[in-house]
Structure 1
Amino acid sequence: MFEQHLAVLPVLLPLIAAPLVVLINNPRAAWLLSTLFAGACVYISFGLVSATMDGGALRYALGGWEPPWGIEMRVDSANAFVLLTVSVIATLVLLFAKESIASEVAHKQLPLFYSAYLLCLAGLSGILITGDAFNLFVFLEISSLATYTLVSLAAERRCLTAAFRYLVMGTIGATFILIGVGMLYMKTGTLNMLDLAERIQAVESHRTINTGLAFIMVGVSIKLALFPLHMWLPAAYSFAPSAVTAFLAGTATKVAIYVMLRFVFTIFGAGYVFEQMNMEFIVLVLALAGIFQCSFVATTQSNIKTLLAYSSVAQVGYIILGVSLVSLTGLTASLLHIFNHALMKAALFMAVGAVFYRMGSVQITAFQGLGRRMPWTMSAFTIAGLSIIGVPLTVGFISKWYLVTAALEQGNWLVAFLVLVASLFAVVYIGKVIEAAYFKEPSEDADATKIKEVPVSMLIPMWLLVLANIYFGIDTSLTVSAATAGAEALLNGSSLVGGVQ
């Protein structure tokens, strides 16, 4: 019975803490309270992962109103796995943020930052565990509005333009999702996801349902930054405070990908989406185009935040590529990469944030000679970068191994070959940063007195992520079993049977 109440706590705790940190109006106390509540969400998420893997889905009816009339929180092995990823990244970024944010955000705005951060965490958690399609939209807007605020709080004024562009694109995406949900409600008379999944089968060939699917897929694709609807992401990541970029890179797009998975596999059914609507080829082509185009653009960047932002869009392509294969191994690869990419990219953006903390710049010239002056930071960047490339004994290798395996299971040698070729782009854009750090002399503009390692409070969360990159690249028992259980849960909720490998 107690486990059922756990299902609502990942949303409830940060919602309670968000106004408290503003009322306290003390940056140090706001940081401590935010970190404690986020840490509590990690503990709860571990409990939810364990409970769902052992005993199936947990359901919680808000106010005692049973679904489909009432609002339901529902946690299964798929969303519990993603929820754990979000809460862990959120907590580690908060540990990193104490020093980092103090140097990038005005002192009087720090309580506002932590409040918006907690609201974003609550929104992301709500998106993952709600069982109601309309409330998914509500939580999506809570997280989005908080994210626009977080992006706009940087000292550099270009963050305002980036936040406005993000707001415009995010609003368009949310509107498309709301229109799509409205069309589903018009034909089925329900908003509960499981109830929708049952009722939609009788009307799935109707034009309104087809149009609703199109609106939802486009809206979610904007939110997850699927090529070519990704142009809001590079600016938002480049000009937001460093801790915000690390948090968003590890969580926001991953949650949006989960939303797509939930709509496709739980509500519409993979058979309807990929077979009847013939979207399998479209999604596959867009994923591959995003991987190659954005990886190439990343190789041309001199701003390292922008470089990693385009890399993130390419990594989204890898995740969606696994989805397009419509198999147990492909979905397992996608869920694995949601977790693994969060570890990689959060560590990389933390390392870049550490460089900005000392150098005041993230241009590639600022990285010259840092291998000797900031050895711990650059070692962390190097290891996480090797994981992005997919070097064995890192989590990046595990993700690509499962993705290539999924392609080969279907006899799709071309896709497997393209995945391996695309990794060469990562060698180029990660390699040029490593070259600057270890094989070039510091820029003449650099102040030698400022070039030293960052505080331990920034190094610890960064290195916890780096060590996780290595540990889960060697011991895959936990992540693979959780991802496989999540993939099975999604496929069991789908009308596609023949596509399961």
Structure 2
Amino acid sequence: MIAAHLPALQVVLPLISAPLMVLVRRGGIAYGLMLTVAWISLLISLLLAQQVAEFGPISYHIGNWPPPWGIEYRVDALSSFVLVLVSLAGAVVVPYSRRSVMSEVPQALHYLFYSMFALCLTGLLGITITGDAFNIFVFLEISSLSTYVLIALGRDRRALTAAYQYLIMGTIGATFIVIGVGLLYLMTGSLNLVDIAQRLPAVAEKRPVLAALAFLTVGISLKLALFPLHLWLPNAYTYAPSSISAFLAATATKVSVYVLIRFYYSVFGDSLVFRDLQILLVLSIAAMITASLAAIYQNNLKRLFAYSSVAQIGYITLGLSLDSVGGLSAAIVHLFNHALAKGALFMLIGGIMLRTGDVTLSHAAGLARRMPVTALGIVIAGLTLIGVPGTAGFVSKWALITASLEAGRWWLVPLIVASSLLAVAYVWRFVEAAYLREPPPESQEKNEAPWSMLVPAWLMVALSIYFGVDTRFTLGGATRAAQMLLGVGG
């Protein structure tokens, strides 16, 4: 009986837990409840992924109202893949956050932190599982509003400015999205994504439909930090509490990419989206090169890897712009692999923040002697960003190169390689500081991060290595999702 309601439980459990945490107003109880909900969410997402793999897409009707009249939760090859990613990130970051939050967030606000975390998780899972266009907007706002609060809880006063900047740009993006959804409803009379896709061909050439495509593209691009709409991201990642930087880097932009893929392929159809000049291709290349160059010149480790995220998003959208099974597979698998690496990096950097109070490169001098386990983890995760063979990053970059050659765009290969070489440069800045510089005289002794922070971070590092060898779930799942979206037989 419970198995039939897993799609609803995926969203309802974290949603109900949020107000409960506010009612108890105890940080310890809120943490325990959040930890339980996060791990149950991971279990549910794995069970849903198994059901989809065995029996095909799941359609769950809220209140037994059949779509398109009622709201539908729909789990298919793509959404099950992203659900696993989001719930995995939550299940790993929550145990990590206990020690980190104690040092970075006032104790009186701990219950509020976990309540907002639960709402953020609710929104991200809801975006991924819903089959209703307006529900996507609602869950997007739930995750965004809670994220603004979480960022503002950072102990640096600049966190308030970062949260406000994100709020302004996020609100603009949300406005564009709801206008796009409204135009689709105007032309089709439906909000169900499957129903819209069936009705849209009859009015595909109408101006409101093209306007809806434009509004949704710009609005979602703001949310996923596509260059040059990424200005909110560096400050948000830099000044948020460490656990939130890790969670957002692993999930927020990835779920926004999922929304873009869903509208492009499941609603509008690739023929309508990619028939004209591919501005997405140009912006993706600009992100890969420009953001990587910007990362090289950063002195703050969080800001350095925040700009790296903008560049890595460029790889994902580059795969989308190729409009092929190979390109879409590369985009989806890099969405997953980059989330693992970046989540690990920000969690490890949080350990540095805990022990040194600063995450600048100057404070990282001699870090390999003081925090050897942390330093090694950052290097391995950095190798994943570069795309060194044996890491998950190599799998997705190789898939992207292969898709570029299959599409006859060989000239993209040197650009992908050049961007990877730029990643070598900014990762080397950390290696040079941590391994080749002398530590300050006052901090010669070892002072490694607590195991409660190291174990979750190293779990993500280990997964980055594991999925560089075993690609059945990542590349295999991404390929099945791409074939489903493009209507190609497996």
SS of the counterpart of 1:385?
helix
1-structure distance, mates of 2:473, 2:190: 36
2:489 matches 1:489: no
SS of residue in 1 equivalent to 2:363 = helix
Residue aligned with 2:274, SS: helix
Gaps of 5+ in 2: none
Aligned to 1:57: 57
Distance in 1, Cα, partners of 2:398 & 2:179: 38
Output one character per residue of 1:440-488: Cα deviation in whole Å (capped at 9) or x when no partner.
01135x5456x50011111110111111111110111221221111112
CA deviations on 1:129-161 (whole Å, 9 max, x unpaired) are 111101110000000000000000011110000
The correspondence of residues 64-463 of structure 1 with structure 2, limited to 5 A, is 64-275=64-275, 278-279=276-277, 281-443=278-440, 447-448=443-444, 452-463=447-458
Q: Is the 8 A contact 1:131 1:192 kept in 2?
A: yes
CA distance in 1, matches of 2:174, 2:199: 24
Runs of 5+ consecutive residues of structure 1 not aligned to the other structure: none
Q: TM-score, normalised by structure 1?
A: 0.96
Given that 1:290 and 1:314 are in contact with CA atoms closer than 8 Å, whether structure 2 keeps it comes out as: yes
Question: Partner of 1:480 in structure 2?
Answer: 475
Q: Is the 8 A contact 1:365 1:443 kept in 2?
A: no
Secondary structure of the residue that 2:411 maps to in structure 1?
A: helix
Q: 1 CA distance for matches of 2:407 and 2:63?
A: 47
What is the rounded CA distance, in whole Å, between the counterparts of 1:209 and 1:369 in structure 2?
A: 57
Q: Tell me the secondary structure at the aligned position of residue 45 of structure 1.
A: helix
SS of alignment partner, residue 366 of structure 1: coil
Q: Give the TM-score of the pair, scaled to structure 2.
A: 0.98
Deviates most, 123-132 or 15-24: 15-24
Q: Which whole-Å CA distance do the structure 2 matches of 1:221 and 1:214 have between them?
A: 10
Deviating above 3 A after TM superposition, structure 1's stretches of 4 or more consecutive aligned residues are 1-4, 446-449
* SS of residue matched to 1:367: coil
Q: C-alpha displacement at 1:168, in angstroms?
A: 0.2
Aligned partners of 1:53 and 1:485 also within 8 Å: no
CA distance, structure 1, for counterparts of residue 4 and residue 292 of structure 2? 43
State the superposition RMSD in angstroms: 1.3
Distance 2:28 2:379 in 1: 32
Instruction: State the one-letter code of the partner of 1:99.
Output: R
Q: Supply the AA of the counterpart residue of 1:488.
A: Q
Residue type of the alignment partner of 1:420: V
Native 8 Å contact 1:48 1:80 kept in 2 = yes
**What do the CA deviations read for 1:423-450 (whole angstroms, capped 9, x no partner)?**
0010000011011001101135x5456x
| C-alpha deviation, 1:5, in angstroms | 1.5
Counting aligned pairs with the same residue, the percent is 51
- Residue from 436, 455, 464 that aligns with 1:469: 464
Q: CA–CA distance in 1 between the matches of 2:111 and 2:138?
A: 24
Amino acid in the other structure paired with 2:479:
T
Q: Contact 2:366 / 2:437 at 8 angstroms: preserved in 1?
A: yes
CA–CA distance in structure 1, aligned partners of residues 478 and 273 of structure 2 = 22
Inter-partner Cα distance in structure 1 for 2:92 and 2:174: 28
Checking the alignment, whether the CA contact within 8 Å between 2:73 and 2:131 is kept in structure 1 is yes
SS class of match (1:190): coil
Give the secondary structure class of the aligned counterpart of 2:73: strand
